[in-house]
Amino acid sequence: MTVGIIGLGMIGGSMAEDYAKAGHRVLACDRLSSTLDAARLLDITQGELTAENVGECDLILAAIYPEGIIERIRAWAPYINKNAVVIDCCGVKRAVCEALFPVAKEYGFTFIGGHPMAGNQYSGLRYAQGGLFKGAPMVLVPPVFDDIELLDKAKSLLAPLQFGRFSVTGAVDHDAMIAFTSQMAHLVSSAYIKSPTAGRHKGFSAGSYKDMTRVARLNPEMWSELFLDNRDNILRELDSFLTELTKYRDAIDARDKETLQQLLAEGKRRKEEVDGL
């Protein structure tokens, strides 16, 4: 089949590599011509994806920022094959799905919201790697939830990426959950590393420090867009976090060992509950 990849960063580049290795024809586009040139040299794409050839694609994967996805798919909608499936791969779903479900319906192709739950704190084609998605979860937000045939088709089209499991949900539920599982972790990490003490950490830091600060090495342009697109959910999670954090601060400030132990025990118990330990 012919696969179109919009955006050759870590996610899009890794996808291109997997499809190319599986013997599929890959067409790709990126805002940087140098990135596209590099992808050709790496032999993970066979040509540039354009409005003129997008109609040749059986599957289109959009791995850029939400606003860019909406803009690009709207512009190319008249040229997309009616049998094609378009799946976005960005970190929020409401804005993208609300904009593109109607566009897909109008022009006759299929659009599915998607979120591959894999990756790391880096960005760019140089961090792409084949097998990145092997065993990882993939979240799908289809236009119709009971269309088993469509879901089976999507899973078949995505098979070369070797996802470990698929979750099907709605855009609203996705964004509410991702605010907690992903976006809060990035915000807290970014704030935590700003401590004046951070500059002197060497020789005093180990696993806990690395775990807390890994995702502070984020892409500011992308994550600011994701946070603002999910503003209501991230504010709710932030308010809850600040409320809980204040309890710990107050107990420490008051030298209230009993309350502090209780708070820590509650956190430990909650971790065991939510993780099934």
- Is residue 84 domain-shared with residue 192, that is, in the same domain? no
Whole-prediction pTM value? 0.90
Tell me the percentage of the chain whose pLDDT exceeds 90. 81
Average pLDDT, the chain: 94
What range defines the domain where residue 151 resides? Answer: 2-169
Q: What is the tally of structural domains in the chain?
A: 2
- Is residue 8 domain-shared with residue 58, that is, in the same domain? yes
Q: What is the CATH number of the domain that holds 89?
A: 3.40.50.720
How far is it, in rounded angstroms, from Cα 195 to Cα 174? 32
Q: What is the mean pLDDT of residues 8-13?
A: 93
- Is the model's pLDDT at 201 over the cut of 80? yes
Last residue of a domain, one of 132, 153, 169: 169
Say if CB 96 and CB 113 are below 8 A apart.
yes
Span 240-265, pLDDT tens digits = 999 999 999 999 999 999 999 999 99
Say if CB 78 and CB 24 are below 8 A apart.
no
233-260 in b/e form (b: 16+ CB < 10 A) is bbeebbeeeeeeeeeeeebeeeeeeeeb
pLDDT band (50, 70, 90) for residue 52? very high
Q: For position 128, what pLDDT does the model report?
A: 83
- Is residue 32 domain-shared with residue 88, that is, in the same domain? yes
- Counting every residue written for the chain, the total comes to 277
- Sheet with strand 25-29: strands edge to edge: 47-48, 25-29, 2-6, 59-62, 85-88, 110-116, 137-141, 165-168
- Is residue 30 domain-shared with residue 160, that is, in the same domain? yes
Last residue of a domain, one of 169, 202, 233: 169
How far is it, in rounded angstroms, from Cα 117 to Cα 209? 23
- Is residue 42 domain-shared with residue 159, that is, in the same domain? yes
pLDDT band (50, 70, 90) for residue 19? very high
**CA distance readout (Å), 136 to 32, 74, 96, 117, 161:** 28, 30, 22, 6, 9
Q: For position 121, what pLDDT does the model report?
A: 66
Tokens 């803009």 belong to residue: 71
Q: How many Cα neighbours within 13 Å face the side chain of 231?
A: 4
- Is residue 34 domain-shared with residue 162, that is, in the same domain? yes
Span 137-194, pLDDT tens digits = 999 999 998 889 999 999 999 999 999 999 999 999 999 999 999 999 999 999 999 9
- Is residue 95 domain-shared with residue 212, that is, in the same domain? no
H or E, element range at 263: helix 257-275
Last residue of a domain, one of 124, 149, 169: 169
How far is it, in rounded angstroms, from Cα 73 to Cα 83? 15
- Is residue 208 domain-shared with residue 143, that is, in the same domain? no
Q: Count CB-CB contacts under 10 A for residue 204.
A: 8
Tell me which DSSP letter residue 181 carries: I
